[in-house]
Chains A and B, each alone.
Chain A
Amino acid sequence: MALRSTKYDRQLRIWGEHGQSALERAHICVLNCGPTGSEALKNLVLGGIGSFTVVDASKVCASDLGNNYFVDWDSLGQSKAKTVSAFLHELNDAVDAKFVEESPEALLESNPAFFSQFTLVIATQMQENSLLKLDEICRQLNVMLIIARSYGLAGLLRISVEEHDVIESKPDNKVEDLRLHNPWPELQRYVDEFDIDTTDNVIHKHIPFAVLLIKITQDWKRAHNGKLPANVRELKVNFLTITARRRVEEDEDNYTEALKSAYVVLFPPEISTELHAILEDKLTEVNASSPDFWVMVAALKQYIAKEGQGEPPLDGAIPDMHSFTDYYIKLQKIYQARAEADVTAMVGHVSCILKQIGRDSSSIPRTTIKHFCKNTRHLRVLRCKTLRDEFSSKAGPELQRLLANEESSHPALYVLLRAVDHFAATYNRYPGAFDGELEEDVSRLKAIAVSILNDMGGGGVALPEDLISEVCRFGAGEIHTVASIVGGIASQEAIKLLTRQFTPVQGTFVYNAMSATSLVLNL
């Protein structure tokens, strides 16, 4: 175990022991082990997943040596699945490596139940028809699916899951929940112990900024009929000058911090649109088969209506504040005690609900509920359309609108990367496969792309000619660097799904390697 914490130190700092354990429980299937599949898997093997199975029927040939790092000269003519699997296993022997020498398409037909053993399937370089089948199978078996495609200097990526709930979304910009505008009695009592007009300069500059802001806000309210400053301007002009006036010396860091955080009084964190949608979700009407997540959301709803008086539970974390150690620790304890009390209230709601739906009232442990309470403001629920819904989507008008914006090449790339599969189905080869027919292929691909747009109800918009030519020029090449980027992103999304941390991408991710930019389409 000492080895585990050393070997995975840098990543444990991101997803923690519990995230690592989730990875170690994961069984991952990669369909096709060209560079996109191999590169995706490489990152997951290094991350320490439990096991993987590579499915590929092809043999290593000379062209693989030019774009796949996980084959070599000695493996020419041998099974690609076997070769790649052996190379990847060498990177981390704690990972269980398996391979199946069969084409994914054949396996879909012959043995759909094969996929039930996996936590997650990563399908690379597969065409529309097979993907449709795969998506149906994975949905039925409740197996998560990631679809990744590298095509010349472009790529597509899509997650397909019925529903994915995230408690630990770890957003970049967390707003601190300090309740400065509305302190609860224990906090108020603590604030009242301070005299911010004290003549003792040492004490004066060690009063935590939270205390300063609560005091100053209350002084303001008293002078303004209980009202807060009406807007940012008033806040800046008046409210901040009070803070500045109370300050005795320039080097009072606590006052500097108070000035910086004063906006929090006016703009405390609100219930985000995401959380609002989750609270209104029909799954909050729970029954015996509801997952724990939705039981806790149902309890949260009751908490907000009752004890919370419109606010979710306090997470209890406070930022560092310039102050004496004991002032700060006492403040920290007051916040933690409130957070703990909120957890107790939530535990009450959860056990009530569990009893109502006929489950053991203590079947969700307090630690789980506490973890949930710490993250309620940032809960995420991801739901993906089925591929069939996407492919038969009538989102043409939306595409038309996006295509009209000439700045962005991504909507056109999306249509063209779908068109190449239709092209292949018709001509039994990809556009640009023969130099001699490049010009004909450009007009053929254009016609197919236009008909896809028409089917979606978005006819009449021109696709950029140079982009159509460029996609033909790609000749379906799976370039190693592009595959490494698309595969890298696929593994990143896999980690997010498996650890249930961070927010996976919702929609179809379109990557343009020419400009190094991306766009997510929701069609």
Chain B
Amino acid sequence: MYYCRMQDVGKAKADVAAARVMQRVKGVTVTPHFCKIEEKDISFFKDFQIIVLGLDSLEARSYINSVVCGFVEYEEDGSPDLSTIKPLVDGGTEGFKGHARVIIPGITPCFHCSLWLFPPQITFPLCTLAETPRSPAHCIEFAHLIQWGQDRTGETFDADNPEHMKWIYDQALKRGEQFNISGITYSLTQGVVKNIVPAIASTNAIIAATCVLETLKIATMCSTGMDIYMQYTGTEGIYLRTVPHDKDPNCIICSPGVPLEVDKSITLQKFIDTLFKDRRFKLKLSKPSVSYHGNNLYMQAPPVLEEMTRPNLQEPLVRLMGGEKSDVLNINDRRLTGVLRVRVTFKDDAETIDMDTVGTH
């Protein structure tokens, strides 16, 4: 990393980078925060106009994406309130390849809309590791995932502890000998255990600069922005191309209202039960609170509010929503980073029957 020198080894990267930039560029203030992004209160992110990501995991990207999508407020017609949008600029590299993208929450696809762009992680079945190892990686993962727990009970494995890593390497080597598998090296052991993504300065520079350029475009309107998602490939020649894709209307993170059809007679309690049964939401919810245009229909906490809103649970939802045929409810839950917006549409009982009859012909 080019802002780091030998004398900086061991210091917090955030502090070193901030000091270096401020020293070089007069008049700029860079405030370092040496912590995990999840440790910050969500309101912390409200103070910024644009958020640029230099993250290295899917989880962290998903988190910040949920935060900024949660900030977006929608107008009656489902269009986002532009003043609540905080663009995200994201990038990542692997070897001679990389990508950069711009997310305008509420307008362009969010991170969650296109999770499929990320390849699935490689994992090995435990039975292969335990019974039929065939590759150096199998031997290493056996030492790492199984042997450590058996032989060094009570000790937490620390990938940054050289003695721990050496132990894994030695065990893997022994297992390799036992099964006639060669090619186990210390470097490979580190790579497999730490899941090291190979990285080089030039690709990082290209992607980082692309992210900054897109940020400058958003901030100054000096030029048109990229078409959503840029791929860089430097393995065979050089290719930079943008690959647009669409917003997922069912995205539980950025949709202005995930469509959900319910019976006209449904009560608020039954509606909450329905949410738990829906495969789109069930893993995301534990104790959902429901509000409608700023009115709390049901709050799980604090106890005073819970008690006040509890009678609503037995009310028909359509009445709580002022008789609208279709409108958006906000669902809050401690398992959600942002807010889940559900567009409820009431189906007429009569119509339902008609539809069924049509279907049988």
Segment at the B interface, from A165-173, A350-358, A362-370: A165-173
Contact string against A for B residues 186-210, beta-carbon threshold 8 Å, 1 for contact and 0 otherwise: 0100110000111111110110111
* Interface check B118, CB cutoff 8 A: no
Instruction: Decide if B235 touches A495 in the complex (CB within 8 Å).
Output: no
* Interface check A289, CB cutoff 8 A: no
| Set B132, B133, B180, B214: member contacting A516, Cβ < 8 A | B214
Q: Which residues of B contact A324 (CB under 8 A)?
A: 132
| Set A5, A171, A488, A496: member contacting B206, Cβ < 8 A | A488
Known contacts A171-B235, A517-B242: A323-B199 contact under CB 8 Å: no
| Set B133, B209, B227, B237: member contacting A515, Cβ < 8 A | B227
Contact string against B for A residues 102-138, beta-carbon threshold 8 Å, 1 for contact and 0 otherwise: 0000000000000000000000000000000000000
Chain A contact patch, size range: 35 or more
Instruction: Decide if B209 touches A10 in the complex (CB within 8 Å).
Output: no
Number of A-B residue pairs with CB-CB distance less than 8 Å in the complex they form: 158
Task: Determine the residue in chain B with the shortest Cβ distance to A330.
Answer: B180
* Interface check B240, CB cutoff 8 A: yes
| Set B201, B202, B235: member contacting A170, Cβ < 8 A | B235
Instruction: Decide if B95 touches A488 in the complex (CB within 8 Å).
Output: no
Contact string against B for A residues 8-50, beta-carbon threshold 8 Å, 1 for contact and 0 otherwise: 0111111000000000000000000000000100111011000
| Set B5, B198, B202: member contacting A495, Cβ < 8 A | B202
In the assembled complex, the CB of A478 is this many whole angstroms from the nearest CB of chain B, namely: 13
Instruction: Decide if A329 touches B134 in the complex (CB within 8 Å).
Output: yes
In the assembled complex, the CB of A251 is this many whole angstroms from the nearest CB of chain B, namely: 11
* Interface check A72, CB cutoff 8 A: yes
Instruction: Decide if B239 touches A488 in the complex (CB within 8 Å).
Output: no
Task: Determine the residue in chain A with the shortest Cβ distance to B238.
Answer: A505
Q: Which of A56-109 contact B (CB under 8 A)?
A: 69, 72-73, 90-91, 93
Task: State the CA gap A175–B146 with chains docked (Å).
Answer: 33
Chain B contact patch, size range: 35 or more
Q: Which residues of B contact A43 (CB under 8 A)?
A: 200-202, 205
Instruction: Decide if A72 touches B24 in the complex (CB within 8 Å).
Output: yes
Known contacts A172-B235, A329-B180: A511-B24 contact under CB 8 Å: no
Task: State the CA gap A73–B25 with chains docked (Å).
Answer: 9
Known contacts A329-B180, A517-B240: A5-B187 contact under CB 8 Å: yes
Instruction: Decide if B242 touches A516 in the complex (CB within 8 Å).
Output: yes
* Interface check A313, CB cutoff 8 A: no
* Interface check B252, CB cutoff 8 A: no
| A12-B187, A47-B200, A325-B133 known, 15 other contacts, Cβ within 8 Å | A11-B201, A46-B2, A323-B134, A329-B134, A485-B210, A485-B213, A491-B202, A492-B206, A493-B238, A502-B236, A513-B213, A513-B223, A515-B227, A516-B100, A518-B240
The 4 closest A-B pairs by CB, nearest first: A484-B209, A488-B206, A516-B226, A488-B205
Instruction: List the interface of chain B (C-beta within 8 A of A).
Output: 1-2, 5-6, 23-24, 26, 95-96, 100, 128, 132-135, 179-181, 187, 190-191, 196-203, 205-206, 208-210, 212-214, 216, 223-224, 226-227, 230, 233-242
| 27 residue pairs bridging A and B, Cβ less than 8 Å apart | A10-B200, A11-B199, A12-B187, A13-B187, A13-B196, A39-B209, A43-B201, A47-B200, A91-B5, A171-B236, A325-B180, A329-B134, A329-B181, A481-B209, A481-B210, A481-B212, A484-B209, A487-B205, A488-B202, A492-B206, A492-B234, A502-B234, A503-B236, A515-B242, A516-B226, A518-B239, A518-B240
Instruction: List the interface of chain A (C-beta within 8 A of B).
Output: 5, 9-14, 39, 42-44, 46-47, 69, 72-73, 90-91, 93, 153, 157, 169-172, 206, 320-326, 328-329, 481-482, 484-485, 487-489, 491-493, 495-496, 502-506, 509, 511, 513-518, 520
